[in-house]
Chains A and B, each alone.
Chain A
Amino acid sequence: MIEKIQIVIIAGFMDAGKTTYIKQQLKNSEEKILVIQFEDGEEEFTEDNENLFLKFDREDITDLAEVIKKIDFEVRNNECDRIMVEWNGMLDFQIAVDIFMSHTLKQYSHIENVIYLVDIATGLIMIGQTGVEPITQIMNTDYVLITKNEEKKDINKVRQVKQAFRSMNPDAKVFTSKKKINEKIWKKKDLPIYYFLAVLIVVGWYIFLAPYIEMGGFHFNQWMIVLTAILLEGIPFLLIGTFISAIIQVLIPDGYLEKIYPKNPFWGILTAVIAGFFVPVCDCAIVPVAKGLIKKGVPFGAAITFMVVTPIVNPIVIVSTYFAFNGDLSIVGTRIGLGILCGIVIGIILSFDKAPVKMKRYNYDRICKNCMQSKDAVTRKQKCFAVLKQTEDEFYAVVKYLILGGGISATIQVFGKGVTTAAGAWPIPILIIIFMIFAFLVSMCSTSDAVVAKSMLNQFSIVPIMAFMVFGPMMDVKNYLMLSNGFSKKTVLHIVIVISGVCFGVLILFYLFGGESLL
């Protein structure tokens, strides 16, 4: 098979330094590179004999077949080793895909990498203001290069950019230095099939080795059954939860909730508690809604109450807790009661303290990829598709936390028996803190965390388990990341401290008033 010509697409806004970057590449390379420009930059390429240049305007894009034909002609007549594309910052990436993955060009070339350049000073603000097209580029990019960062002083800013890109495209690697990215740019990626093969090999070895593993007193079989059981129990709730949440997000128009929400702190907190019962949205989807509420003028305290109470009192969470704890209504009731109590206290504290709430100027999680789908959906059929796509995306985004949490729980149960029996005897307040940290780190979706919590009940008393189930939905790593996308660091820290403090206090009270006798 003939080696296909590699294509690298350089995307990003007009002033992100794309042309400069490509020029550098040309200078350092011995090969004949075809540069295809879809941008009218300030900086122009100087024609040279070594490389080839092709340029398209915005008008040309209207006729893709013509564009493809021109590129095809160029490649066929002048042999080139590689192709570099400077993609327009305001063009949908799908157009680039349609051009370079078209049947004609796919025969002898393929897109190797996509690099997104972002100006450290202005990039994020631009992304927040320019609509959907730049997001499509970010979502498809393999690498992100932060440019115009010569001083390398602003570590905070770099972190912000990294965080923002991670929230939009978790797979993209962010680089700050050109040197490092230059090593990757022409490098071939691992074919995904290798991942599958790797898994198959592991599975094959497992089947082959299983009897010997068991003989060594290593209960891998049991571990696997326990983990599978937790997943099998959690996945239906997770799916149904994301499904209903998707229906709400697609069918309820953007900003509707914000509009009807009461603006008075007292009614706000009360509404937060009651509305929670009717809004089957888990903690993963609630943070953007809460941020929207604050933006629309709902008191800070009330919005945060809404954020922390909804994931606990939502109907699916209630059902899953009921199922996991085997129909024990006292557990379900306690979880709801403690959740509401925490929420109200948190709301009151945040309403009374006058710490300034600082929101960031840009707010990109509102421009999520799914909102684009749901806005386009007009007919009933389109809406159905949008709901299912949204369900799928959300499900895949949170199922990893279920696998992680289930894995830890199964490991504790099967292998850590001695350790946890000792730990089970530790003072309850310490266990509460440990379980709150555990809940924070594993970031499980509240629709399925009861299953994991229940599986640890053999080793621990109900109080720390309750800490896991009450604190987890309110605050965890993923909520923290989502919050820090919208608020200043100080505000986020403030929220986290108040929530954790109140939660801990309420659970200690629960313990002192005989929480252990609940079971």
Chain B
Amino acid sequence: MKKQVNYDVLTECIIAILSGFILIIKVVNGSYLDYVSPKFKILLIIAGSLLVGIGMSRMHSVWKNSYNSHYKRYLLLAIPMLMLIIPHNSIAASSLKNNYSPTQVNVNKKEKKPSDGVNSDSDKRQKQSGSRNKSNADNSSFDTSQKDNSTAGNPKTDSIDSAKQNKTDFSSLGNKSQASDGNTQLSGLDTQAKKITVSDKEFYQWISELYNNYAIYAGYEVSIKGMKYQDDSISGDKFAIVRLAMVCCAADMVPCGPICQYDKTGSLKNDTWYTVTGVLENETVGGQMQIKLNVKKVEEATAPDEPYIYPY
């Protein structure tokens, strides 16, 4: 008997293999981060390989006739995969009202201490931060940071990797105490000028650092990029400059960032990216100290490459 292709099984194979590859590609190019936090990387790769394996294992039946197919069930798998490849925008902060948390993301509503212990290093940090007081927080400072990178012996100019580069820069500068310490070193601090330029990559680390060691940084001029956010409790001449923190997946995002005091708040648009420069102050809200920026300057900015931040 002449062999003929069984299209049902072929469809089944193709959908399974394609789905597997979509998952793996999403992990490789990093776009899975729009949906879930980085800890799912390995799980997604396992799932992708399993799907590819399932698809491959069915290949041998492609030449076998069968009558009843289950197209509908393959379509089921196609739904999430289609949703994955359909273009989408990132979630706007204003759609997550009432979830706002100024500095700490405790989605499980439990007090969790952010990493501290950086204050013991603050002296040491003075030295190296003098050599690089600029970061890639916005496009205007991009050129300088590029120069910095090359002088530090690291020719990479990709702004996405700025935080990583900063880290490598430190070690290449021979700052042994930091490397051995194991703490994440934050860049953009200039103790002489009392300035902090927060880079996109270090948004969350910096705001928890500012919150936890408020005493050290009070009066510093902080430059930070985020979306303008307002809700019932933050209104009038106040707004928050936030980024969306993803704890586990897109279903539990929390707008997170410091409150800003600015007399021209009304002229700013919600959900638009701004680079805010202001003096670090504090404010007591409901018996709790919160950090606040007394805004001096607001500039419109472009969205960062990674729209969300991943606190854990």
Contact = CB atoms under 8 A, between A and B. Distances in A.
Interface of A: 65, 93-94, 96-98, 101-103, 106, 111, 114, 139-142, 169, 171, 192, 195-196, 199, 203, 206-207, 214, 219, 221-222, 224-233, 235-237, 239-240, 243, 323-328, 331, 384-385, 388-389, 391-392, 395-397, 399-400, 403, 409-410, 413-414, 451, 454-455, 457-458, 519
A226 B250 CA distance: 5
Contact of A454 (B66, B70, B251): B251
Nearest to A243: B50
Contact of A232 (B80, B82, B110): B80
Contacts of B86: 203, 206-207, 224
Contacts of B99: 458
A152 to B, nearest CB: 29
Interface in B175-190: none
Interface string B40-76: 1001101100110110011010000111111111111
Interface of B: 1-2, 4, 11, 16, 32, 34-36, 39-40, 43-44, 46-47, 50-51, 53-54, 57-58, 60, 65-80, 82-84, 86-92, 95, 99, 107-110, 247-252, 312
A140 B65 CA distance: 12
A240 to B, nearest CB: 6
Contacts of A226: 250-251
B65 A326 contact: no
B65 A97 contact: yes
Contacts of A403: 76, 79-80
Contacts of A214: 89
Nearest to B90: A225
Nearest to B86: A203
Contacts of B43: 236-237, 240, 323
A391 B99 CA distance: 39
B248 A233 contact: yes
A269 to B, nearest CB: 33
Give the most central of A225, A324, A451: most B CB within 10 Å: A225
B23 to A, nearest CB: 8
B72 A384 contact: no
12 contacts: A169-B68, A199-B75, A221-B88, A224-B86, A226-B251, A228-B80, A323-B40, A326-B108, A396-B76, A399-B76, A457-B107, A457-B109
Given A171-B68, A236-B43, A328-B108, 13 more contacts: A93-B67, A101-B67, A102-B65, A111-B67, A169-B68, A222-B95, A225-B88, A236-B46, A237-B43, A239-B46, A243-B50, A388-B58, A397-B73
A236 B39 CA distance: 12
B247 A103 contact: no
A458 B252 contact: yes
B28 to A, nearest CB: 15
A76 B34 CA distance: 61
A350 B78 CA distance: 43
A116 to B, nearest CB: 11
A232 B68 contact: no
B80 A221 contact: no
B32 to A, nearest CB: 7
Contacts of A385: 57, 60
Nearest to B246: A229
Contacts of B75: 195-196, 199
Contacts of B95: 219, 222, 414
Contacts of A326: 107-108, 247-248, 312
